[in-house]
Structure 1
């Protein structure tokens, strides 16, 4: 139950008070457990509750093919939780090695962060819902709270959130210290937000996101493919006309989401020319499948020039475990296609578009791994199709990862989604514009400017990793010192007697 309560702090609810309450219960249970086995069990059950509640929306993906996988419906979220929950055992057992007090708090927060960061090594990686994301409240308050991610990334925010949540239960002085640190945190965040006022320089393109709102059943079965294609063409023509009418001087760039084209665009010259005609001279970036041979496919992002020829292709390199590829523990596949990974991140430098870092869907969730080495872009683009997960927390949690990447990298992020939510964030993570879920609509904004390189851009995940390691070392040193002092006091008592 405590784990489920902790999940209330995640986006989109971001009910932060739930986190110190739930973590306080876990911390006390672990500390008072009579045996290590009991402590490990409490931590595991907390993890099961946290991930089952936080990932409940995974069930919606099974429902899209419920006639085949009806039996898997009760196991979707708990099954994933079963694989990740054991990581919670690490801080639960390690913190018991040092005395109660600040050493134990530091060891718990540091080892929690290290275990959480290790999730990038689970299958193709599953770093979903780090606790640092609880600070992503909507609007200005969230903008202020997440600014330190430009220094220590979301994993560093996780460390700070865990430490502060537990410190609140350590007496008045500790709680007062948390309040003072929070005020300083917010003050610096507000300064950074105001110091980097949102602006879009001259010559920047006008981004026109086209959200077609195609149900996932239609995407899978290709039902109404012609109507789907025609709808995107009409929305594109309207978006380009609106961009030129309301944003003169900014060349429009049209973005279609993942799964937008119901076919193989690189093999369909007629379709490319038809899209170019609808875009009326604007380049179009859109998602499409591509053949990889022998029943295998790439999930791709394709850049079409104004005349309809292909300027660039990016193939998704990080695949979704249990969805786009089959881990060895799963004897079946939930998707009809066999997707293969591309060669990795890259940067496009294209006329009218500029230097952009292309990504597809899942890849945006990996902190410190969204920019190709030595190829810093001017903006990041990710296309997605979250229709799998319905009108749930899933699409909002996915969108929150794009907001966090913007702050970490100091780059604007364009997030185009089939059914929503689509959005554009500036380099400080501020919402420049967004669509609603389940609506056929367009979003047109001038691309915000990139900021200078952030601290996180230079050090990446080594920053939060070092922070967590130092916390563990300080805890061990502090705990050893307390033990030595306790031994000396006992020896003195014995001599006195």
Structure 2
């Protein structure tokens, strides 16, 4: 009997059913997510879950138990999605009580495949239990792949992100992401946490696996990154209120604050400043088409490149959420359009007959690309939500020298959402072997090395500018599997899913 089983025996009889217990196990598993990172709970949760799945009376019962676990896990892990609705409660009051439960119910479906994999083994001995652990871990990764691509794609709450905590140990434990991305981290986590289900030998095997895993990470980070080119980057974190007022005086005040922060940053940096970054949608002006706005920036920044979050009106009349590069008072030198839009927040999926996105939403861009801005090393931009899509954030035909993520997490306040987003975004640096700059409206902003080491951060709810000597250190090539290989894996996942379900 596991520790969880002994604890469950004390629960009132009406709540002792396996379904309720799986739901509770899901809640417990969620506290391993950022910002808590209480990973040891998984070493008790996973064996207890496997035991309940193994004794399910049929495949439907196993699927139900897996779904119950997923509901508990995602309900606690995704409660922060309600925060934007609280901010706009006068318009979206009706969605407040249903948003988090509805998303939890939908995303819990991805736990059905791992549950069925365990039930298919019907473990009766130590070898069967080991097989159940390995199948559970493999099926969980396949479900994660499905979650990245299926419907609109929502790759959140992956177990691999649990390891992206601060300190030398956290840095060491995320290094396998350089080989197989966040999916390999999830696979290793599920195996290590599940091995105690096998018995005493499983605890030993788990300890050996974690020790080898940590040893690899320490050895990899000890080798050090490539020689550095140094750039001074000014990051603006204005901490604008959301949604903010759209009256002309309010927009003018916002614009003046952008310019004032830029002036202060450049004055402090002197002539050594190379790049200025504004966060997502920081500019109330349409920088690509507004010559007077670009001239106002040039009057302060001169020829220093400014990479600014801005709306953009495309030639076809569609509105885009963009990153616009301004250098001098001439035309914009480059721009990037966000292509992974937030469902319902930035666009309404085509399969939904009703349009529920405020203001009609945005049109997606063509996909990941590298921006070539004079005086700036080639940069791979990401806007907000895009940074959670492993293997899909850079143009493989035109590799950048560094990554830039601009975002506005003020919508999620001081909930767990910004911390979860930052942990997942940090893994993109390890996967791609590239340094990463994160600039957000209200925090967390950071500079992250190609091994995932956080060199500097600016926390939540802090306003101002931030100067950082950015070490442009990168690997010559990406070590994680390519986006095309992820797509091939996804094709296999669809076949596997269809065969099982």
Residues 463 and 297 of structure 1: is their aligned pair in 2 closer, same or farther, counting only changes over 3 Å?
A: closer
The answer for the alignment partner of 2:174 in structure 1 is 146
Alignment of 1:78-477 (within 5 A): 78-100=101-123, 101-197=129-225, 200-201=228-229, 204-218=230-244, 224-244=250-270, 248=272, 251-292=273-314, 296-327=318-349, 328-329=351-352, 331-448=354-471, 449-457=473-481, 462=486, 465=489
Alignment of 1:43-54 (within 5 A): 43-54=66-77
Give the secondary-structure state (helix, strand or coil) at the position aligned to 1:318.
coil
Whole-Å separation in 1 of the counterparts to 2:90 and 2:316:
27
Whole-Å separation in 2 of the counterparts to 1:197 and 1:450:
7
Question: Could you tell me whether the CA contact under 8 Å between 1:43 and 1:88 is conserved in 2?
Answer: yes
Aligned-residue CA RMSD in angstroms? Answer: 2.4
Question: Could you tell me whether the CA contact under 8 Å between 1:9 and 1:19 is conserved in 2?
Answer: yes
Q: Greater RCO between the two (CA within 8 Å, min separation 6)?
A: 1
Question: Could you tell me whether the CA contact under 8 Å between 1:381 and 1:413 is conserved in 2?
Answer: yes
Aligned-residue offset at 1:281: 3.1
Aligned-residue offset at 1:66: 1.0
Question: Could you tell me whether the CA contact under 8 Å between 1:295 and 1:338 is conserved in 2?
Answer: no
List alignment gaps of at least 5 residues for structure 2: 1-23, 124-128
Question: Could you tell me whether the CA contact under 8 Å between 1:113 and 1:159 is conserved in 2?
Answer: yes
Residues 15 and 24 of structure 1: is their aligned pair in 2 closer, same or farther, counting only changes over 3 Å?
A: same
Whole-Å separation in 2 of the counterparts to 1:77 and 1:133:
20
Residues 20 and 223 of structure 1: is their aligned pair in 2 closer, same or farther, counting only changes over 3 Å?
A: farther
TM-score, with structure 2 as normaliser: 0.87
Larger mean Cα displacement after TM superposition, 306-315 or 219-228 = 219-228
User: CA deviation digits over 1:134-187, x for unaligned, max 9?
Assistant: 111112221111011101110011111011111023222221121122112111
Alignment of 1:29-44 (within 5 A): 29-44=52-67
Larger mean Cα displacement after TM superposition, 288-297 or 68-77 = 288-297
Give the secondary-structure state (helix, strand or coil) at the position aligned to 1:158.
helix
Aligned-residue offset at 1:293: 7.4
List alignment gaps of at least 5 residues for structure 1: 477-497
Question: Could you tell me whether the CA contact under 8 Å between 1:434 and 1:443 is conserved in 2?
Answer: no
Whole-Å separation in 1 of the counterparts to 2:480 and 2:226:
20
Whole-Å separation in 1 of the counterparts to 2:49 and 2:318:
45
Whole-Å separation in 1 of the counterparts to 2:344 and 2:222:
43
Residues 310 and 72 of structure 1: is their aligned pair in 2 closer, same or farther, counting only changes over 3 Å?
A: same
User: CA deviation digits over 1:238-272, x for unaligned, max 9?
Assistant: 11222337xx4xx4200000110113222321111
Residues 56 and 462 of structure 1: is their aligned pair in 2 closer, same or farther, counting only changes over 3 Å?
A: same
Residues 173 and 333 of structure 1: is their aligned pair in 2 closer, same or farther, counting only changes over 3 Å?
A: same
TM-score, with structure 1 as normaliser: 0.88
Whole-Å separation in 1 of the counterparts to 2:34 and 2:63:
27
Q: 1:65 aligns with which of 78, 84, 88?
A: 88
Aligned-residue offset at 1:308: 5.0
Number of equivalences: 464
Whole-Å separation in 2 of the counterparts to 1:25 and 1:59:
30
Residues 220 and 27 of structure 1: is their aligned pair in 2 closer, same or farther, counting only changes over 3 Å?
A: farther
The answer for the alignment partner of 1:479 in structure 2 is none
Larger mean Cα displacement after TM superposition, 99-108 or 66-75 = 99-108
Question: Could you tell me whether the CA contact under 8 Å between 1:260 and 1:418 is conserved in 2?
Answer: yes
Aligned-residue offset at 1:219: 6.2
